Amino acid sequence: MKGVLICGGFGTRLRPLTEITNKSLLPVYDRPLIHYPLDVLIQANIREIAVVTGPEHIDQIASYLASGNRFGCTFTYTIQDEPRGLAHALSLVEAFAMGESVCALLGDNIFFDDLSPAIQSFREGALLFLKEVPDPKRFGVAELESYPTKEMNAVRILSVEEKPQHPKSSYALTGCYIFDSHCFDYIKTLRPSPRGELEITDLSRKYLERGALRASLLHKPWVDAGTFESLFLASQLVRETRNHADTP
């Protein structure tokens, strides 16, 4: 399996900070934000990683991550000339994937659950990670077959929608997606959404139509650190988690 870090977009909600650097390099407690999704891949023993980003700050990301040697992995850099959607960003790494499955993470997402078992046990189809949120309208949303309990780790998905006005559940698609190699063929059949983007939810729906879409539930915090408030919350949670781990 290959890894993909998607660090594109204009970061408009974090201006003026993102006028001088990519949001994935902004600090979260004691490390740049990109470390946290990168940790997910490294902990799952994924060592070949493509970094997809816009042209504005590619030099800063490449300068910071470099070859990947100090992280124990190798990086390949790909430029997405303009933000045309997550599925479009994923399409740019087809040659890099070389027929393997891909685990794609958004460069501004922080996961506190251990995703390694689910990632390492993946074989085929597609796997999404869901988290119950108070404001599902902001995210892609999954309609579930039944309301899950805290003991459940896997659920059946009935539908997926991108930022719906009337969400069918409170379960958001988080920024970690695993797809087998069929994803690149499916992306070629997608049409731009009303936002003018190739949506990751539309790609997920292709797997759903074939009965090949699965989901895993997250129970610990998850932060989409794309706003000042969520970026601040991320630092707080990381600090609390780090201090708790250091307490005898």
Q: What is the CATH number of the domain that holds 23?
A: 3.90.550.10
Domain count for the chain: 1
Contact at 8 Å (CB) between 169 and 137? no
Q: What is the pTM of this model?
A: 0.91
Per-residue pLDDT at 54: 87
Average pLDDT over residues 185-200: 93
Cα 184 to the center of its chain, rounded Å: 17
Q: Considering all CA atoms of the chain, what is the largest pairwise distance in Å, rounded to the nearest integer?
A: 54
In this structure, the number of other CB atoms found within 10 A of the CB of residue 235 comes to 18
pLDDT cut 90: percent of the chain above it = 63
Q: In whole angstroms, what is the distance from residue 246 CA to residue 248 CA? A: 6
Beta bridge partners, 154, equal: 216
Query: 90: part of which helix (H) or strand (E)?
Result: helix 86-91
Distances in whole angstroms, Cα of residue 142 to Cα of each of 29, 130, 139, 183, 202:
31, 8, 10, 19, 12
Alpha-carbon span 71 to 47, nearest angstrom: 9
- Does residue 21 sit in helix, strand or coil? coil
What letter represents residue 82's amino acid?
A: E
Spatial separation of the C-alpha atoms in residues 216 and 213, rounded to whole Å: 11
Question: Is the per-residue pLDDT at 154 higher than 70?
Answer: no
Average pLDDT (133-156) is 76
43 near 26, Cβ under 8 Å? no
Domain membership of residue 229 as a residue range: 2-246
